């Protein structure tokens, strides 16, 4: 059976009080609507169709080729929104799943189970409800004496008796496709002048057709985000889920309450994450690492057996057996090879740091390459920017740079050379040379060509 999916996301989300469309507000680092698209992949091979309206271009740009898009020019209600997808989807599928762009906690397996239910339903629709004492403005499910669903009544239209109903509409529906397309136009206009998809339930029951409604087992999945308070609730629930998944996969998390892992992060077995650590974007961390406390790692790839304490790493690459911190900062394009040691207060940008190199204390390396086993003395900095261009510093294998050295790029330091403490190096230094002073001058050449 072919299943297509419609995600409604044309509304403004007024209660968010935001310049940005509601469905693009992130949960665990990805837009709300992205999470729903992931869930859809678990039951359908078809790309979902997202109904966009408010700031449609921004939503399309953000979700890109993960979905098809149809435009709802005016927001005339949830049924009117579904109608916008009719031309694209009619005749293409057996089942149409409809859900909202603001329910990022809904799980793929829950949706899959509902589609299975609908396959066996003789009636035209199966839907999810939630049993909750906190109605959150949700529509109420009205059932007859036999317990069969009769209608969904929006909160604004409820009588005082109906307001007490604790079975609520989640807004996840699974329709027999042909029936949906034939009956959308039978929905009456609401008291607010909109066309509510909720009213299609009564269209079915009036004809004596069976509506299957089942309560979701985990009410958290049903949370719809209407405000920033709801957003933070969803973030907390998603954080708990992600942390639990990693712990089950063999990662130790000392304090899950203060560990913030984005949804696309990957972590290897036997790695330990210490408190107040933020792992963001497409970060990948290998096995047997110790990360944190107080560390932020964004879009960075880290190998095995690394130790990162109280540091910030962004768009960087770190190989195996590297230790960083406390107070290290890797910026975009920093690449630390095996066994690099980077101690207190180091900053590295757009640089390759060769295997076994040590950068113990207070350094800045920008646009630099170092060879193997280089020692960068305390307080060494590269003057990589002359006010116009970013210039390169090249440091060969086994160089020993004395403390407080300034390397004025472009400059090359030859293999085994030793710029002395406090030198300001503005000319290339030959292999094995020892240079001192400001600007640095040679005091000893290599033995084979010394005077
Ligand atoms: C809706 C349901 C309600 C349910 C609740 C669960 C209706 C009428 N009500 O109420 O029964 O309990 O969800 O969260 O369906 N949208 C459009 N185009 C429109 C109108 C809305 O795309 O013309 C989209 C919005 O962007 C939003 C979603 O549909 O993502 C729901 O709209 P909203 O106005 O938030 O409905 P609720 O009041 O939450
Ligand atoms: Ca809503």
Cβ of residue 81 lying under 6 Å from some atom of ligand 1: yes
Q: Which of 80, 230, 321, 361 is catalytic?
A: 361
pLDDT in tens, 80-107: 999 999 999 999 999 999 999 999 999 9
Neighbours of 445 (CB within 10 A): 14
Give the C-alpha separation, 431 to 445, whole Å.
8
Amino acid 106: pLDDT: 98
Q: Quick one: pLDDT band at residue 451, thresholds 50, 70, 90?
A: very low
Amino acid 265: pLDDT: 98
Amino acid 445: pLDDT: 81
Whether the bond between 324 and the residue before it is cis, its omega within 30 degrees of 0, is no
Q: Quick one: pLDDT band at residue 449, thresholds 50, 70, 90?
A: low
Judge whether 237 and 251 are in contact, CB under 8 Å: no
Q: Give yes or no for residue 125 having a pLDDT over 50.
A: yes
Cβ of residue 260 lying under 6 Å from some atom of ligand 1: no
Q: Give yes or no for residue 188 having a pLDDT over 50.
A: yes
Cβ of residue 105 lying under 6 Å from some atom of ligand 1: no
Amino acid 448: pLDDT: 63
Give the C-alpha separation, 34 to 60, whole Å.
11
Q: Which of 51, 100, 101 to probe ligand 1 with, by most ligand atoms within 8 A of CB?
A: 100
Q: Which of 8, 71, 103 to probe ligand 1 with, by most ligand atoms within 8 A of CB?
A: 8
CB-count exposure of residue 107 (10 Å: 0-12, 13-18, 19+): middle
Angle subtended by helix axes 32-41 and 108-119, to nearest 10 = 50
Q: Give yes or no for residue 307 having a pLDDT over 90.
A: yes
**Distances in whole angstroms, Cα of residue 277 to Cα of each of 193, 290, 327, 381:** 49, 11, 14, 28
Q: Give yes or no for residue 372 having a pLDDT over 80.
A: yes
Rounded mean pLDDT, 155-176: 97
Q: Give yes or no for residue 178 having a pLDDT over 90.
A: yes
Q: Give yes or no for residue 416 having a pLDDT over 80.
A: yes
Q: Which atom of ligand 1 is nearest to the CA of 75?
A: 23
Best CA proximity match to 176, nearest among 246, 286, 108, 94:
94
Ligand 1: residue whose CA is nearest its atom 22: 10
Q: Which of 25, 171, 172, 230 to probe ligand 1 with, by most ligand atoms within 8 A of CB?
A: 171
pLDDT in tens, 324-349: 999 999 999 999 999 999 999 999 99
Q: Which atom of ligand 1 is nearest to the CA of 152?
A: 11
How far does the centroid of ligand 1 lie from the alpha carbon of residue 59, in Å? 17
Neighbouring residues of 113: CB distance < 8 A, sequence distance ≥ 6: none
Question: What average pLDDT is seen over the chain?
Answer: 96
Q: Coil, helix or strand for 218?
A: coil
Cβ of residue 175 lying under 6 Å from some atom of ligand 1: no
Whether residue 361 lies in the annotated active site:
yes
Cβ of residue 77 lying under 6 Å from some atom of ligand 1: yes
Judge whether 287 and 307 are in contact, CB under 8 Å: no
Rounded mean pLDDT, 288-307: 98
Cβ of residue 101 lying under 6 Å from some atom of ligand 1: yes
Cβ of residue 49 lying under 6 Å from some atom of ligand 1: no
Ligand 1: residue whose CA is nearest its atom 29: 8
């Amino acid at each position: 059976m072919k299943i297509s999916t419609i995600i409604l996301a044309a509304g403004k989300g007024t209660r968010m009080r935001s310049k940005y469309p509601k469905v693009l507000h992130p949960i665990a680092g990805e837009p709300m609507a992205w999470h729903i698209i992931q869930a859809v992949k678990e039951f359908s091979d078809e790309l979902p169709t997202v109904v966009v309206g408010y700031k449609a271009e921004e939503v399309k740009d953000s979700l890109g080729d993960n979905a098809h898009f149809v435009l709802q020019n005016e927001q005339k209600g949830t049924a009117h929104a579904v109608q916008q997808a009719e031309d694209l989807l009619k005749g293409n599928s057996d089942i149409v799943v409809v859900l909202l762009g603001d329910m990022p906690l809904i799980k793929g397996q829950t949706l899959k189970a509902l589609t299975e239910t609908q396959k066996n339903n003789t009636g035209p629709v199966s839907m999810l409800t939630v049993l909750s004492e906190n109605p959150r403005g949700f529509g109420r499910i009205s059932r007859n004496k036999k317990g069969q669903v009769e209608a969904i009544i929006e909160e604004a239209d409820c009588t005082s008796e109906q307001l007490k109903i604790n079975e609520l509409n989640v807004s996840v529906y699974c329709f027999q496709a042909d029936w949906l397309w034939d009956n959308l136009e039978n929905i009456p206009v609401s008291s607010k002048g909109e066309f509510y998809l909720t009213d299609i339930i009564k269209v079915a029951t009036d004809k004596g057709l069976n509506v299957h409604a089942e309560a979701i087992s985990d009410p958290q999945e049903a949370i719809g985000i209407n405000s920033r308070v709801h957003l933070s609730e969803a973030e907390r629930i998603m954080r708990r889920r992600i942390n639990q998944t990693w712990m089950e996969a063999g990662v130790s998390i000392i304090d899950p309450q203060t560990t913030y892992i984005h949804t696309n992060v990957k972590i290897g077995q036997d790695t330990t994450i210490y408190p107040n650590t933020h792992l963001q974007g497409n970060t990948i961390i290998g096995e047997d690492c110790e990360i944190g406390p107080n560390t932020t790692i964004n879009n960075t790839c880290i190998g095995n057996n690394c130790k990162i304490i109280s540091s910030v790493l962004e768009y960087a690459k770190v190989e195996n057996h590297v230790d960083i911190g406390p107070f290290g900062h890797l910026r975009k394009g920093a690449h630390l090879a095996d066994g690099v040691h980077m101690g207190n207060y180091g900053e590295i940008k757009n640089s390759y740091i060769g295997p076994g190199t040590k950068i113990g204390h207070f350094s800045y390396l920008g646009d630099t390459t170092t060879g193997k086993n280089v020692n960068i003395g305390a307080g060494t900095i590269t003057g990589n920017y002359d006010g116009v261009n970013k210039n390169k510093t090249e440091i060969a294998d086994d160089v020993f740079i004395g403390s407080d050295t300034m390397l004025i790029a472009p400059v090359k330091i030859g293999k085994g050379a030793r710029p002395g403490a406090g030198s300001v190096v503005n000319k290339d230094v030959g292999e094995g040379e020892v240079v001192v002073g400001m600007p640095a001058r040679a005091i000893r050449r290599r033995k084979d060509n010394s005077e």
